[in-house]
Structure 1
Amino acid sequence: MLDYPALAAVSAVVREGSFERAAARLGVTPSAISQRIRALEDRLGGIVIVRGQPCLPTDLGRKLCAHVDQVQLLEADLAPALAVEGRPSDPPVTLRVAVNSDSIATWFPRAAARFAQATGYLLEFIIEDEEFTADRLRSGEVIAAVSADPGVVQGCQTIELGSLPYLACCSPDFAARYFPHGVTEQALRAAPCLRFERRDGLQSRWAMENHGLALDAPMHGVPSTFGFLNFSIAGMAWGMHPSMLARPHMAEGRLVELTPNTPLDVKLYWTVTRLHVSALRIFTDAVRSVARESLKPPR
């Protein structure tokens, strides 16, 4: 049998980032937290927490935290049937979810709000590029993810939600300076563009799919959806923007498309752990409902 007080200590340290804050959350001393984790590591024969600022889980620690999250969900689901009430000191159930920044900035908050209102659960979001959110699920860091990855994740179900359309946009002044004759290979090579982080390939994908051109341009790294908008509006670079965010600025003349009517659709999927608990069914229903209202339907 696993030592669940020790697992709770591991989970609290990972969530709070330090032994002191974890102790305050669980209502014990930092020394008690340290003793529990040390005893667990001795029993398992491996390190579960890398001490630091903040403290971080090892691969084994992440797996244990995922197990604790699933146990909490199962216990919360059983409580009404057993007529068991949580103690006032019990922390509320928190679900960790990986979501791409553009979904957080557009359609996903409505789904999250519906779930939180229906269940009273808390949510903790891991922000990641949509191409890699499923990796967070595979590593055990999260219990569900919005992803562009349709691949199978062991122990999970994957549901296609629809597509989020993107537009290649820049300010009118930027277009006049760098693209006076439209999108050409020479112009694309000279014009600075934005990318969310090093693995972000949307700009390159748009250039290849719409113009057959390989993108080899100066790139600004901006890990923020609204940073993309603000820097594009300011005339610093061009980038790929969710259509629902870009179009109001296009209507006001602050943004223009590099090439009119060349959207890039990114398919999104909801991948969620296969636990038979009501909370995940409620969450999945909320995500699918809002996706139907907001995204381009699956083909």
Structure 2
Amino acid sequence: MADSWKLIAHAPKGVVHAALLAHEDVEEWDPEIVVTGHEIAEDRPDEWVLEAYLPRRPRKEDRESFAALFAGKPPALVTEKVRPADWVTESQRGVEPIRAGRFYVHTPDHLPSAEPGVTSFEIPASQAFGTGQHATTAGCLAMLSAMKRRGVAARNVADIGTGTGLLAFAALKLWPRAHAVASDIDPVCAPVVAENAERNGFRIGARPGELAVAVAAGMDDRRLRECGPYDLLIANILAGPLVELAPDFADSMPPRGNLVLAGLLAAQERAVRAAYRAVGFALAGRIVNGDWSILWLRRRFIG
């Protein structure tokens, strides 16, 4: 297993937000370098960190590219070797359960909820994102619950960038007779989704109420194309890919189809909404969870 490294920069929240926006605008960013930003702790909401994960020891040009994301003088950069363990799993150990919408998400270290009318999902720390702890995932759970409450019906569902499968499971719980497919660009997610499906009582398959799994970049997969069009499509990824995928999502959905978008900072919302307005979507609902926006869009009739 190759060594992994990361570059770290601590800065105020606004500075890190601006750096994340700058990263979205870099057209030739090295795809092997994954950039993330987050607050240090809940009780220190204005103290943030920007991190870049690399599959190699950072080179001079890597440090320069990372530093260039900051306007003016960049903060001090720290280079750190990532321990030979899955850093996603390590970051999720000991996390507390969350309650979002109709759902309660917990790790195996915690018991399911005893609250009537609440569905519990057991999602262990894993090699994939999407345990419900991040504000975007929790916001999607709340948004799906609100859509069900407002009478949305879903017969054909896609969860793009599924990670652990959690949002697909939530959709199947809300619309149990739907056809559903979950996809992710990361091949490691397929066995993770299959394991979590078994853990939570879902079957992998292509019949109503079952979950098909695909490994794909965006909608670039035969199974995804064949299973469409989708009257409910969920995409919790990043603002840049959401903008790029707007035409493909539009082509995969019928008029009045419902689209849930997440993974975008509130500061990135205007650009994402503009991209989807251009291909025929209108805003139906919006949740702001911390610094993140969760959007419910509905496709208009094009005539």
Is the structural similarity TM-score above 0.5? no
Sort the TM-score into its range (normalised by shorter chain). Answer: under 0.3
More strand by share: 2
TM-score by length of 1: 0.26
Q: Which has the higher contact order (CA 8 A, sep 6+)?
A: 1
